Amino acid sequence: MRRLQAVLYRNRWLFSRRIVQLLIIAAFAVELAAGGYFAQGNLSSSVWFGIGLTDPYIWLQSLFAGAPLGKAALIGVVIVAVFYLLLGGRIYCSWVCPINLVTDLSYWLRQKLNIKSNYTLSKNLRVAILVLSLLLSLLSGTLAWETINPITLFQRELMWGSVAGATVLASIFLFDIFVTRRGWCSHICPVGAFYSELGRVGRLRVKATQAGACHGCAECIKVCPEPHVLAPVVSKKATYVTHGDCTRCGACLDQCSTGALAMNLSFKKTSAFKGIPVVSSD
């Protein structure tokens, strides 16, 4: 019993995330007894209990492709954008995106199999792809990234059992295992890049609880999908993870054995606009 509790505790963020992710998939996929689904549509645009939500990045592509703006979609875009803007954009990646299940599995296998190969890709690659996708939308008059976006592909095709969807997922899976650590999500996916930019000022942040609790073991950095965001905190140059790349996955909190880290929602106007605060040395 104790053991179980300990396991649960050490994976509290991981398990919460999995539950949320699976619930979201189920909301779209599991038919209700009364007919219909909890959520209609897919992650491009969906309707939850009568409220429409639309992905701002996909909407932006549509805008670049030259579309008139739909009223319903516009409201949905604002709701979603404000949510991620306030909390932190890449919450989408850790808590909503179904591809995260695949890439996390890849990462886990990579650890288990002790695969070291790591083809370095620039973090700017995904930003380049983001810009490119908007540019191509403009040039071609179609939603460029949506021709291959594995997120909506997953929902459209895999749920309905298609081979095309499975192929794409399999290639991402293998790429992340054998080629680059956290290859897809941290280097290629423009959706993640978009949400990272959107969530620069997000207020749900990882915080160093009190000076002194952190031993500087850097275990959190090892498990973080975006290790660079934690560096300032571990090296005690900052109390908050302020980088937009942080996915709020909580892996660092699960990993930290001293309770030096916490996830914090603070709307106090402390740091984000004044640069990184420095922990006073006592």
Partner 1 sequence: MADKTFVAAEIAEPERRKVFRKIFRQLGAATVITMFGKAVLDSRPARAASVLRPPGALPEPEFNAACIRCGLCVEACPYDILHLASWSDPAPTGTPYFVGRRDPCRMCPDIPCARACPTGALSPLLTDIKKADMGVAVLVGHETCLNYKGLTCSICVRVCPIIGEAISLKSIKNERGVLQIPTVDSSKCTGCGTCEKHCVLSEAAIRVLPRELGLGVEGAQSVGRW
Bridge pairing between strands 261-265 and 204-208:
antiparallel
Positions in 192-211 near partner 1 (CB under 8 A): none
For residue 27, which amino acid is it? A
Residue closer to ligand SF4 by CB (options 79, 204) is 204
C-alpha distances in Å from residue 74, one per residue of 60, 120, 172, 211, 260: 10, 38, 31, 44, 41
250 binds ligand SF4 (CB under 6 A): yes
Contact pattern from residue 197 through residue 236 relative to ligand SF4, giving x for each residue in contact according to CB under 6 A and a dash for the rest: ---------x-----------------xxx--xx------
Stretch touching partner 1 by CB under 8 A, among 109-117, 131-139, 207-215, 271-279: 131-139
Positions in 167-186 near ligand SF4 (CB under 6 A): 184-185
Q: How far is Cα 251 from Cα 17, in angstroms, rounded to an integer? A: 10
Stretch touching ligand SF4 by CB under 6 A, among 47-55, 187-195, 211-219, 272-280: 187-195
Positions in 142-161 near partner 1 (CB under 8 A): 142-144, 146-148, 152-153, 156-157
**Residue partners of 201: CB distance under 8 A and separation at least 6:** 85, 272, 273
Positions in 96-125 near ligand SF4 (CB under 6 A): 97, 99-100, 103
Positions in 40-69 near partner 1 (CB under 8 A): 40-42, 44-47, 52, 54-55, 58-59, 62, 65-69
Contact pattern from residue 74 through residue 113 relative to partner 1, giving x for each residue in contact according to CB under 8 A and a dash for the rest: --x-------------------------------------
Sign of CA dihedral 120, 250, 107, 43: negative
Q: Which residue is nearest to ligand SF4 (CB)?
A: 192
Choose which of 24, 93, 136, 158 interacts with ligand SF4 (CB under 6 A).
Answer: 93
Nearest distance, CB of residue 58 and partner 1, angstroms:
5
3-state secondary structure of 279: coil
Beta bridge partners of 204: 265
Beta bridge partners of 46: 41, 53
Residue closer to ligand SF4 by CB (options 136, 182) is 182
265 backbone dihedrals φ, ψ, rounded to 5°: -105, 110
Query: Distance between the two ends of the chain, CA-based, in angstroms?
Result: 41
- How many separate helices (H) and strands (E) can be counted in the chain? 14, 5
Q: How far is Cα 151 from Cα 146, in angstroms, rounded to an integer? A: 9
Cβ atoms 203, 86 nearer than 8 A: yes
42 backbone dihedrals φ, ψ, rounded to 5°: -145, -170
Q: How far is Cα 171 from Cα 148, in angstroms, rounded to an integer? A: 12
Using CB under 8 A as the criterion, which residues of the chain lie in contact with partner 1 when the complex forms?
Answer: 36-37, 40-42, 44-47, 52, 54-55, 58-59, 62, 65-73, 76, 121, 125, 129, 132, 136, 139-144, 146-148, 152-153, 156-157, 162, 164-165
Q: Which residues of the shown chain bind ligand SF4 in the complex (CB under 6 A)?
A: 92-93, 97, 99-100, 103, 151, 184-185, 189, 191-192, 206, 224-226, 229-230, 241, 246-252
